[in-house]
Amino acid sequence: MTLRYLTEHEARLALQLPYYLATVPAGFPSPAEDYIDKRLDLNEFLISHPAATFFCRVSGQSMQGIGIFDGDLLIVDRAAERRNGAIVVAAVDGELTCKILDIKAQQLRSANPDYPPITIGDMDLCIEGVVTHSVRTHDRPN
């Protein structure tokens, strides 16, 4: 899996969109509830540390077991704690990759059995940040 660095998060004016109190069932349809609970700014919801956040695009299938797919946009927080089991963006010998940080086994693990773990050892390794969210586009115009 490779990653393409996109940009740093830029502080912008709030963009508040309607946030409906009712959940949307993915099973049988239910009567619509036209009640807006509040306005939601996705910057507040998705970005905890604006000055330490960047975006990158995923390429490859090594993380599909945890729902990160080729083409997804990752929101990465440089200020988030790098704890065991965290999904991280790491520079391994200068190449960016997205993996699961396994501190106990000293490995970067993929979420696809077709991709072996990377043992943390004599390589040049820098954990760039923790993946806090992934964004997937479901409806692409033709």
Instruction: Respond yes or no: is residue 104 known to be catalytic.
Output: no
Active-site option among 59, 99, 104, 134? 99
Active-site option among 30, 38, 48, 62? 62
The residue among 46, 45, 64 whose CA lies nearest residue 54 is 46
**Beta partners for residue 137, in sequence order:** none
Whether 20 and 35 have beta carbons less than 8 Å apart is answered as yes
Instruction: Respond yes or no: is residue 99 known to be catalytic.
Output: yes
- Both tokens of 22, joined, read 């009712």
* Whole-angstrom distance, CA of residue 8 vs CA of residue 118: 27
* Whole-angstrom distance, CA of residue 119 vs CA of residue 105: 8
- Residues designated catalytic: 62, 99
